[in-house]
Structure 1
Amino acid sequence: MCASTGTGSQALERAEAWLASGSLRPTRQRLALARLLVGDGQDRHVTAESLHEAAGTSDVSVSLATVYNTLRAFCQAGLMHEITVDGSRSYFDTRVDSHSHYYWEDDGQLTDAPNKAVQLASKPDIPEGATLSRVDVVIRLRRES
């Protein structure tokens, strides 16, 4: 994860506002991770491992378990979405509007696909008693040699 945190006070303000928008208490660890995620105002896709590594590089002392728990809390608060690429790999996306993704199998990167990349012809049939939460589409790609 190549996360620039923006200027100090500006990045902190963004992180605080982001946590407040999800009604999350700004603990030291949440603020530190939020600053890495949204401090520069850019959307990003991270794994727990890449965020943990970025935290270590930024001298933020946090365990991998805490990173996982914090990412889950961010998702529950509606600040992020979890995108499962396969049974063993999840990405966390700070962009929460409805959009599709490209998964680049060569290097394991997840990127946003253009809105026109996938268009549903109709709304999926939903079982009685259920409502549509969202539709996740991941388009798997390989770069040509």
Structure 2
Amino acid sequence: MRPTRQRIILCELLFARGDRHVTAEMLYGEAVEANLQLSMATVYNTLNQFTQAGLLRRIGPDGSRSFFDTNTSVHPHFYFDGEDILIDVPETLLLDQMPEALPGHVISRLDIIIHIRRKRAAT
């Protein structure tokens, strides 16, 4: 991957603040705020290239939107339904048993997304 000016700036925006979960739209907004002239397609392409290179992990909690996680380790997430917020589960999650892969297959990765919603106020 060639280190273009746009990729370097997007990389700085992504990784300068520690572990985070961003959408392409969020990163594009940050780039616009930083007066970077680029297209939304460039943001998508860069995020996809960073993901293919193993720098990011794509997470699709609801099937319609992708978040890109700067922490590529295996860890669970909370997804706030209706709010489009994805955060790391703060506690360690223990799995007693992993299922066996189907014959002729291996488990390539594990994603655990716990969907939550805010409690409704009692009336």
Q: Structure 2: 5+ residue runs without aligned partners?
A: none
Q: Which amino acid aligns with 1:26?
A: P
The whole-number CA distance in structure 1 between the counterparts of 2:50 and 2:91 is 24
Q: How many residues align?
A: 120
Q: Which structure has greater helix proportion?
A: 1
Structure-1 residue corresponding to 2:12: 35
- Give the corresponding residue for 2:76: 100
Deviation string, structure 1 residues 10-51 (Cα, Å, up to 9, x no partner): xxxxxxxxxxxxxx32111110100100123x1110001111
Deviations 1:35-86 (A, max 9, x none): 100123x111000111111110111111111111110101100001000011
Q: Sequence identity of aligned pairs in percent?
A: 46
1:127 offset after TM fit, Å? 2.1
RMSD of aligned residue pairs (Cα, Å): 1.4
TM-score, structure 2 normalization: 0.89
| 1:106/1:143 contact within 8 Å kept | no
After TM superposition, list the pairs within 5 Å mapping 1:47-126 onto structure 2: 47-116=23-92, 118-126=93-101
Partner amino acid, structure 2, of 1:103: Y
TM-score of the superposed pair, with normalisation by structure 1: 0.77
1:135 pairs with one of 87, 110, 114: 110
- Superposed displacement of residue 132, structure 1: 1.7
CA distance in 1, matches of 2:15, 2:94: 28
State the structure with bigger RCO (CA 8 A, min sep 6), 1 or 2. Answer: 2
Q: Deviation at 1:95?
A: 0.3
Are the equivalent residues in 2 in contact too, given 1:99–1:115 (CA < 8 A)? no
- Deviation string 1:100-138 (CA, Å, 9 cap, x unpaired) is 00111242110001242x322212221233222211011
